[in-house]
Structure 1
Amino acid sequence: MTGVALAEELLLLAYDDTTGKATMPRISLDLGMAAAVLVELAIAGRIAYAEGSLTVADPTPTGEPVADEVLSRIAADTPHTPASWVQRLRHGLRDRILGDLCSQGVVRDVDETELGFIHVHRYPVVDASVEAETRQRLAEALTGAAAPDERTAALATLVVVLRMESALGVDGETAADARRRLEAIATGAGFSGEVSTDDSVVRPSVGLVVAALGRAVDQALGPRR
Structure 2
Amino acid sequence: MTVTLGEEIMLLSLDDESGMAKERQSAGWAVAGGIVLELVMAGRVSVDRGRVTVTDTTPTGIGLLDDRLKLIDAWASKKSRPPKVTDWLTRDHGKAVSATIDSLRERGLVGEEQRKVLGVFPVRRFPEADGTTERELRARLAALVLHNAVPDERSAGLIALIHAAKLHRLAFPDRSRKEVSPRMEEIADGQWAGESVRTAIRNMQAAMVAVTVATTVTVAS
C-alpha displacement at 1:9, in angstroms?
0.5
Hey, what does 2:187 align to over in structure 1? 185
Work out the CA distance in 2 between the residues paired with 1:19 and 1:52.
Answer: 37
Deviations 1:166-192 (A, max 9, x none): 1134356x331112211111011xxxx
Kindly tell me the number of residue pairs found equivalent between the two proteins.
Answer: 211
Other-structure match for 1:202: 193
Normalised by the length of structure 2, the TM-score is 0.88
Q: For 2:83, what is the secondary structure of its paired residue? A: coil
C-alpha distance in 2, partners of 1:87/1:109? 27
Secondary structure of the 2:94 match is: coil
Select which of 157, 160, 163 maps to 2:160.
Answer: 157
Question: Does the 8 Å CA contact 2:48/2:203 hold for their aligned counterparts?
Answer: no
Percentage identity across aligned positions? Answer: 31
Q: Deviations over 1:124-180 (max 9, x none)?
A: 1110001011111111111244201111111111111121111134356x3311122
TM-score, reference length from structure 1: 0.86
Unmatched 5+ stretches in structure 2: 217-221
Deviation at 1:64, TM superposition (A): 1.3
Which residue of structure 2 lines up, in the alignment, with residue 32 of structure 1?
A: 30
Counting only pairs closer than 5 Å after superposition, residues 1-225 of structure 1 correspond to structure 2 as 3-24=2-23, 26-50=24-48, 52-76=50-74, 77=77, 78=79, 79-170=82-173, 174-188=176-190, 200-222=191-213
| Letter of the 1:201 counterpart | W
Q: Deviations over 1:28-55 (max 9, x none)?
A: 1221221011000011111112454211
What is the RMSD computed on CA atoms of the aligned residues?
2.0
- Residue 195 of structure 1: aligned partner: none
Q: How far apart are the structure 1 equivalents of 2:187 and 2:136?
A: 19
CA distance 1:30–1:170, shift in 2 (3 Å): closer
Give structure 1 stretches of 5+ with no counterpart: 189-199
Displacement of 1:66: 2.2
Give the deviation of 1:83 after TM superposition: 0.9
Runs of 4+ in structure 1 deviating by more than 3 angstroms, as ranges, are 169-172
CA contact (8 A) 2:35 2:65 kept: yes
Say if 2:28 and 2:94, in contact at 8 Å, map to a contact too. yes
